[in-house]
Amino acid sequence: MEKLKNVFVFDHPLIRHKVAILRDKNTSMKEFRELIEEITTIMTYESMRDVELVPVQVETPLEVTTQYKVADDSVAIVPILRAGLGMVNGVHKVFPTAKVGHIGMYRDEDTLEPHEYYCKLPEDIEHKTVFLIDPMLATGGSACDAIAALKQRGCKKIKFMAIIAAPQGVEKVALAHPDVPVYVSTLDRCLNENGYILPGLGDAGDRLFGTK
């Protein structure tokens, strides 16, 4: 895969450690869910480096000083249903007041094409930095369509975050939406004939929610 300016792959020892446990088929649902949240929190810190700050006056025990904060109500979280729900608390640990929207995409099992079936977003979404989140970035179809759906609803500042990604999916999203930074915890080898990431970790939604 060619190096793309809007793609950021994390190479952090702590993330590597947690991803290794995440992949293990014997990792329990409880631990899997906790790891997803922990990895998301680390990624959120890194992906917020360019978020705009506003000056505020703060009174310390000794004096009044000008400090800088992320503007109130300026961040929104939009998980792609359903697996994206597992990442919400990870972002909330950094920004507990962030509003949460939801976008539902399903993949046709025969064509592997994504289809939107639900979208509910916070008010004034067009003025917020939106974290679009999904643990797995496979073919990239759902992510591309979800980003397009957000743009159609006025979103101008979108950041996409995935924990495990295939090169094909990363490239597709990055080229289709060059204005959207794509943050990936781990870049895997490839997709199999069924569109699953290898080595991957199986179906993230099933492992998060205990379904088959």
Q: Is residue 169's pLDDT more than 80?
A: yes
Q: Is residue 10's pLDDT more than 70?
A: yes
Q: What percentage of the chain carries pLDDT values higher than 90?
A: 79
The pTM score is: 0.91
pLDDT by residue (tens digit) across 35-74? 999 999 999 998 998 888 999 999 999 999 999 999 888 9
The set of catalytic residues is 107, 111, 203, 206
Task: CATH number for 7-209: choose from 3.20.20.10, 3.90.180.10, 3.40.50.2020, 3.90.220.20.
Answer: 3.40.50.2020
| SS (HEC) of the chain | CCCCCCEEECCCHHHHHHHHHHHCCCCCHHHHHHHHHHHHHHHHHHHCCCCCEEEEEEECCCCEEEEEEECCCCEEEEEEECCCHHHHHHHHCCCCCCEECEEEEEECCCCCCEEEEEEECCCCHHHCEEEEECCEECCCHHHHHHHHHHHHCCCCEEEEEEEEECHHHHHHHHHHCCCCCEEEEEECCEECCCCCEECCCCCHHHHHHCCC
Domain layout of the chain by residue ranges: 7-209
